[in-house]
Amino acid sequence: MAKSRSSYVCQNCGAITQRWQGKCESCGEWNTIIEEAAALGVGAAAVRRGAVGRAFPLEDLTDDSKPVARIVTGIGELDRVAGGGFVPGSATLIGGEPGIGKSTLLIQACAALARRGGRVVYVSGEESTEQVRLRAARLGLAGAPVQLAAQTLIEDIVATLGSGDAPKFVIVDSIQTMWSEAIESSPGTVSQVRGASQALIRFAKLSGAAIILVGHVTKDGQIAGPRVVEHMVDAVMSFEGEGAHAFRLLRASKNRFGATDEIGVFEMTGLGLAEVANPSALFLAGRDGAAPGAAVFAGVEGARPVLVEIQALVAPSTLGTPRRAVVGWEPSRLAMVLAVLETHGGLKLGQHDVYLNVAGGLRIAEPAADLAAAAALVSSLVGVALPHDAVYFGEIALSGAVRSVGHVGLRLKEAAKLGFARAVGPPAISREEDARLTASSVASVASLVAEIAASGVAAKVTK
Ligand code: TYD
Ligand code: MG
């Protein structure tokens, strides 16, 4: 019989080496390799028994049976990201930084679902049942028939879930705290997390329960350690937000049962997470449109239009090397827009500090924000407020040209819905005009600068 060997497993990426090393060759992380007892691998037991595989019937791609009904929690923004509710028998991983509100969101989902019937189980490996109950009471959910447990041993959890009525919805908070007796390493290691996930996913497939695994996230936004779990589950969602701001975004980065471009928007309140049906209104709240340096960007997050204010401050610098600071946007993108404004827009920014802020704590990744950022920067530099009722979008090329972006119709519709009367964008904009909006196209940053400067002159003349 084979001697039980141990192998060295990177806790960050799951790579296996034969010796201990200070640095993982696969992902480059330091001090992440830990000795773990080697698993014998799939099929090892059968080989030892000398067994031969059994043939099974294969099935057609066409299927006459009705599609399975999804498990709808009643928290609309969560169901939307799941693809219209959770699929029975599926496993979903929800990651997010500590304190972002994962446990809050999931206890709310549990309570909402349990109230509508079915067995709902919430297993916490981090908090006592008393703590979970206290939070639920604070959220006004104390009466909901959710079954609670504070357990971490996976065999016990699976046995408990398997006894009695089949559960409909199971939360395991968090997967990193779970451990199996069958595995010799400590909780949180890759083998434990993988083993526990496997056991839970198998249970989900057999019982038809939808299982949600909560995963911790490291600073750089990855699910800590076990990236392997991301491959095992059916869907991976991340719960994001800026600590100081109340809004939270739920995004799917993988979904076998739905689109990955849906986002869910929530606001953290004293009474837990509230769904935000109209994110644009949230981000534009408290806007002071009369001041120079602010432009409303008509953005799209996932498949959802989101209007947000981009604020710029361009001020003469007293420093040898002027400051460039940006919150909520890529610093490299700002540097590029500034370079294009200098080269093709004729602006002199070398002696100015530049600050750029996306209001409300949203992080924008779209290149379509270039034009709004440029408009805010020019507006601040020349001291002319942009029209209060205008939105901006478009990508800026290094040549200074304003390029077309996707979802133009969606952006215009959202702007019109929120009472904006003008949209400034790439030349293609006029073809997709919304009847309620005046769409004006700018072909280049040079014409953007000229238009903003001219509106400043016109304002002075009429005064
Ligand atoms: P929690 O769900 O415990 O976060 P996670 O499970 O992602 O670590 O949420 C923790 C934070 O949420 C905590 O700092 C306080 C805040 N919070 C509220 O603002 N209102 C509430 O009603 C609740 C329950 C929490
Ligand atoms: Mg938690």
Quick: pLDDT tens for 242-260.
Answer: 877 888 999 998 999 988 8
Whole-structure pTM value: 0.81
Q: Is the beta carbon of 168 within 6 A of some atom in ligand 1?
A: no
Considering only 17-31, 386-400, 436-450, which range has the smallest mean pLDDT? 17-31
Q: Which residue has the tokens 């959220």?
A: 139
Query: Is residue 225's pLDDT more than 60?
Result: no
111 within ligand 1 shell (Cβ under 6 A): no
User: Which ligand 1 atom minimizes the distance to the CA of 97?
Assistant: 7
Could you tell me which residues are beta bridge partners of residue 304?
301
- Which residue has tokens 């002199």? 348
Q: Does 135 sit in the ligand 1 pocket, CB within 6 Å?
A: yes
Task: Determine which residue's CA is closest to atom 17 belonging to ligand 1.
Answer: 272
Query: Degrees (nearest 5) of the Cα angle 40, 193, 232?
Result: 80
**With bands split at pLDDT 50, 70 and 90, how would you rate the model's confidence at 393?**
very high
- Mean pLDDT across the stretch 447-458? 87
Each as own residue / partner, the long-range contacts of residues 97-102 (CB below 8 Å, 24 or more positions apart, any chain) are 97/217, 97/240, 98/216, 99/243, 100/239, 100/240, 100/241, 100/243, 100/248, 101/239, 101/241, 101/248, 101/266, 101/268, 101/273, 102/173, 102/214, 102/239
Cβ–ligand 1 contact at 103 (below 6 Å): yes
Give yes or no for residue 152 having a pLDDT over 60.
yes
Going by pLDDT thresholds of 50, 70 and 90, the confidence category of residue 141 is very high
Give the pLDDT band of residue 66 (cuts 50, 70, 90).
Answer: confident
Q: Is 268 in the pocket of ligand 1 (CB under 6 A)?
A: yes
User: Are the C-beta atoms of 257 and 83 separated by less than 8 Å?
Assistant: yes
Q: Where are the alpha helices (DSSP H) in 167-292?
A: 190-207, 228-232, 279-284
Which of residues 42 and 366 earns the better pLDDT score? 366
Which amino acid does the sequence have at 280?
Answer: S
- What 8-state DSSP symbol labels residue 361? G
- Spell out a b/e string for 107-124, using b for 16 or more CB atoms within 10 Å of the CB, else e: bbbbbbbbeeeebbbbbb
Predicted confidence band of residue 1 (pLDDT cuts 50, 70, 90): very low
Which of 94, 97, 100, 104 has most ligand 1 atoms within 8 Å of CB, for mutation? Answer: 104
Looking at the chain, the whole-number percentage of residues with pLDDT higher than 90 is 60
Q: Report which listed range, 20-29, 33-42, 298-307, is most confident.
A: 298-307
Confidence of residue 48 (pLDDT cuts 50, 70, 90): low
Cα separation, 171 vs 75, whole angstroms: 15
pLDDT of residue 259: 85
Measured in degrees and rounded to the nearest 5, phi and psi for residue 123 equal -105, 120
The CA-atom distances, in angstroms, between 252 and each of 264, 339, 378, 401, 420 are 9, 35, 36, 33, 30
Distance 101 CA to ligand 1 centre (A): 4
3-state SS record for 297-331: EEEEECCEEEEEEEEEEEEECCCCCCCEEEECCCH
Expressed in angstroms and rounded, the spacing between residue 107 Cα and the centre of ligand 2 is 10
Give residue-wise pLDDT tens across range 78-121. 999 999 999 999 999 999 988 899 999 999 999 999 998 899 99
Residue bearing the CA closest to ligand 1, atom 2: 101
What is the rounded average pLDDT of the residues 321-326? 93
Nearest CA to ligand 1 atom 1: 101
The answer to whether residue 364 scores a pLDDT higher than 60 is yes
Q: Which of the pair, 248 or 15, is modelled with greater confidence?
A: 248
Ligand closest in space to the Cα of 94:
1
Contact 234, 255 (CB under 8 A): yes
The residues near 52 (Cβ < 8 Å, ≥ 6 apart) are: none
